[in-house]
Amino acid sequence: MLKRSRRLVALLTVITSLSTGVALAHDEEEPAPDPPHLAELVEGVQRVIDALTRASTLPDEDAAAAVEWLVARIDGFVGSSRVAAAQRVALSLPTVAVPPTHSLVVDGPPAILDLVTPGSGLSRTVDEVFGDWSRVLALLDELQALVADRTPVRVCPVPGGWDFEDDWHDSRPWGRVHKGTDFHAPVGSPLMAIEAGTVIQANWHWAGGRQIYIRADSTGDVYYYAHLDSWEEWIWTGTRVEAGDVIGTLGGSGNATTPHLHFGWMPGSGSIDLDSLQNPYRLLVELCV
């Protein structure tokens, strides 16, 4: 039992430190650190794969429950790793004009290769960088395959026709900063429940306009949808939703100057706790790109 407990502690330490350092942590007082080198990302993802593989053999029920809880957060870890890898590629090729981070993730290495000036002398560097990039992506695919039958179903909250970027902590009027990710799409675009859970609040707020909070079954994460044009008639506080259910339409209600969905994420909060808001961009990259 002691041996199993030590192995569980090691697993928790590995995945929590990785996901906290890459996907979840945000210090408002300090600038974000440079993303890890691609070789470090390869090592980190491999450690998660190895830890989950070992943990799958543990018979202890408490250990199994803890592992399942962590598995439910793999989407965030994978998306975070993809973004960190793309950022590192950009930093590794300083002479290349780099498109937005999510374009790197969408188009992959060729999008950058097309921008490298012939004869620039960067060919060796490019080969080395994209070799590491490929290893990161291959390991992320392996990790996803490892947990495919255990991860909760999640969908992009704005299906098709969307545009979003990492605007976390952008400045806003009255000295505020942005605490979410904005999706820009036409008014009336359908909005979907990101995963199965319970609507814990659906109401009007002067800032968020028509808004919905959903608590996920899998982790207790709370997702926040703001500025809706309309709710579906069946959406009330206490309503059950499944991943992919249409819960309303995109609009510009409340304190919004243009139509968009403001999407917020409170990991593991279990209730509406604005102090626990964290950057959802990396999770959304995995679900929407």
pLDDT in tens, 243-285: 999 999 999 999 998 999 999 999 999 999 999 999 999 899 9
65 within 8 A of 150, measured Cβ to Cβ: no
Which pLDDT band, with edges at 50, 70 and 90, does 18 fall under? very low
DSSP state of 277: -
The whole-chain average pLDDT of the chain stands at 81
CATH number for the domain running over 2-147: 1.20.58
Tokens 């008639």 found at: 233
Whether 125 shows a pLDDT value over 80: the answer reads no
Assess whether pLDDT exceeds 80 at residue 32.
no
Is residue 153 pLDDT above 50, yes or no? yes
Map tokens 């942590």 to a residue: 25
- 163-288: CATH, from 2.40.40.20, 1.10.540.10, 2.70.70.10, 3.40.50.720: 2.70.70.10
The structural domains of the chain, with segments of one domain joined by +, span 2-147, 163-288
In this predicted model, what pLDDT tens digit does every residue of 41-87 receive, in sequence order?
999 999 999 988 887 677 777 777 778 888 999 999 999 999 899 88
Separation of alpha carbons 91 and 96, rounded Å: 9
Stated pTM of the model:
0.81
